[in-house]
């Protein structure tokens, strides 16, 4: 092969890699922008209509999804046929994918938290079934619209597919998770800028939520991000919905178990900070291993899943 041909091939490969990273970072930028701007704009809309409490949270969540999801769908619409899809799959497959993600993650959480209770790491309050049901229902709607759905579409959907078009699976998983780690801090920068532009009080800029150790928060996001990629890459015709289900269960379990008293969830548990970290990371790791095992261990539904995924790659989301 001529030297010029080799150089041209290497340049094309570098250009392809740069474009893949640009698209992946673009997905992260869309999510950070939507999250930061959506919270401010949703708050302004809530003030305009006199909404407080839960209605205000719901308005902010709706605005975040409305800002993020259409942009990503537009970005993906121009991609060539045969490229890796977002993973939403055909609408009929969405409920099954979603509930598979919910079932796997919830089962792992119950097993690990149950073990933590058995060894005395968790002490539970008396449950209030009515309050718990109300909290779970309301939290699910807000969590899906504010975080689970837009984050999965922009990150494990668009960003992962962009990297996977060019790189191997392990690199794409790590790259997508790296983009995920950039979103929280970037969203606070956007939120502060939009707040100042609208003349309202700007929240502090930072990577971790107030009161949380940045290193511990980074470790949690790293493990959580890799777990979501494992769900996204599990076999099935709607794998992104598995990641959405996993995302929702993670948020719901943690808010009930570890923040339930403060949130009025109707049930909660007490644990030391060290035990909380071990339990959360433990059930995330167990969840990730099950999703990875779905790819490694052959199953009866695998041929059907492959046919469905091939159909999706030929034109479905």
pLDDT over 50 (residue 124): yes
Distance, CA of 161 to chain centre: 14
pLDDT over 90 (residue 113): yes
Of the two residues 75 and 194, the one the predictor is more confident about is 194
The structural domain count of the chain equals 1
Record the tokens describing residue 32, joined without a space: 């950070």
What pLDDT does 317 receive? 58
What pLDDT does 296 receive? 83
**DSSP 3-state assignment of 301?**
coil
> Going by C-beta distance under 8 Å and a sequence separation of 6 or more, which residues neighbour residue 303?
none
What pLDDT does 314 receive? 37
Domain that holds residue 137: 3-313
> pLDDT of 175-234, one tens digit each?
999 999 999 999 999 999 999 999 998 888 999 888 889 999 999 999 999 999 999 999
Distance, CA of 126 to chain centre: 31
> pLDDT of 272-287, one tens digit each?
989 999 999 999 999 9
- The mean pLDDT of 258-275, rounded to a whole number, is 95
Q: Among 8-22, 132-146, 149-163, 206-220, which is the least confidently predicted range?
A: 8-22
Q: Which helix (H) or strand (E) holds 269?
A: strand 269-270
């Amino acid at each position: 092969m001529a030297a010029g041909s080799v150089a041209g091939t290497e340049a094309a490969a570098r250009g392809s890699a740069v474009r893949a990273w640009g698209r992946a970072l673009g997905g992260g930028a869309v999510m950070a922008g939507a999250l930061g701007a959506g919270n401010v704009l949703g708050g302004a809309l809530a003030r305009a209509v006199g909404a407080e409490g839960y209605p205000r949270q719901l308005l902010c969540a709706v605005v975040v999804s409305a800002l993020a999801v259409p942009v990503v769908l537009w970005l993906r619409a121009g991609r060539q046929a045969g490229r890796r899809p977002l993973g939403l799959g055909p609408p009929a497959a969405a409920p099954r994918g979603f509930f598979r993600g919910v079932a796997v993650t919830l089962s792992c959480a119950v097993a690990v938290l149950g073990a933590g209770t058995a060894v005395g790491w968790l002490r539970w309050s008396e449950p209030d079934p009515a309050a718990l049901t109300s909290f779970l229902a309301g939290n699910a709607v807000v969590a899906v619209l504010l975080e689970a759905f837009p984050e999965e579409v922009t990150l494990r959907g668009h960003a992962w597919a962009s990297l996977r078009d060019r790189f191997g699976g392990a690199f794409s998983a790590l790259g997508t998770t790296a983009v995920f780690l950039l979103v929280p801090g970037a969203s606070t920068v956007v939120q502060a800028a939009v707040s100042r532009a609208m003349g309202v009080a700007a929240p502090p800029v930072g990577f971790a939520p107030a009161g949380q150790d940045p290193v511990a928060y980074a470790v949690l996001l790293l493990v959580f991000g890799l777990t979501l990629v494992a769900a996204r890459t599990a076999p099935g015709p709607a794998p992104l919905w598995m990641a959405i289900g996993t995302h929702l269960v993670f948020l719901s379990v943690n808010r009930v178990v570890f923040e339930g008293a403060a949130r009025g969830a109707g049930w909660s548990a007490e644990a030391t900070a060290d035990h909380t970290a071990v339990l959360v990371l433990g059930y995330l790791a167990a969840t990730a291993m099950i999703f990875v095992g779905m790819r490694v261990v052959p199953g009866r539904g695998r041929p059907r899943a492959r046919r469905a995924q091939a159909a999706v790659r030929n034109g479905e989301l």
